[in-house]
Structure 1
Amino acid sequence: MSASRSSNQLVVPQATAALDQMKYEVAQELGIAIPQDGYYGNMATKDAGSIGGYITRRLVQIAEQSLAGQYK
């Protein structure tokens, strides 16, 4: 689990575990090691940005698929 999410607040707090799991999956796909102790200070900004960008793309894709299914 992540140590803190700064000032960001989740709209659905129950999604925390799923988002953390997605973070680890994306990092693994990109070949980026996530620190087990939760400290990201030694992680390159480029790596952290890559993880965030891919998570955003994946969430948008999931939302688009969900919306496409609703409106058919």
Structure 2
Amino acid sequence: MSNKALIPEAKRGLANFKNEVAGELGVPFSDYNGDLTSKQCGSVGGEMVKRMVEEYESHLK
């Protein structure tokens, strides 16, 4: 399996989305996140998935 991204623009878009969600949740994301707790990182990832699912479901109706 190749490490080449199928849609290179998606990487930047997801990074922007992650930073937006982290900012809203008050999680201080940066280039180095090794000092964050699992709970902090998980809250950002969980919220991202929640929003992506909501967006997808809104298009099904």
- Which TM class, normalised by the smaller chain length? 0.7 to 0.9
Identity of aligned residues (%): 36
Structure 1 residue 32 and structure 2 residue 43: aligned? Answer: no
Matches within 5 A, 1:47-62: 47-62=40-55
Would you say how many aligned residue pairs link Structure 1 and Structure 2? Answer: 58
TM-score (norm 2): 0.79
Separation of aligned partners in 2, 1:11 and 1:47: 29
Q: Which runs of 4+ in 1 moved over 2 A?
A: 9-14
- Taking the aligned partners of 2:11 and 2:42, their CA distance within structure 1 comes to 19
Q: What displacement does 1:17 show?
A: 1.5
CA RMSD of aligned residues (A): 1.8
| Structure 1 residues without counterparts, runs of 5 or longer | 1-8
Structure (1 or 2) with the greater helix fraction: 2
TM-score, normalization: structure 1?
Answer: 0.69
Unaligned runs of 5+ in 2: none
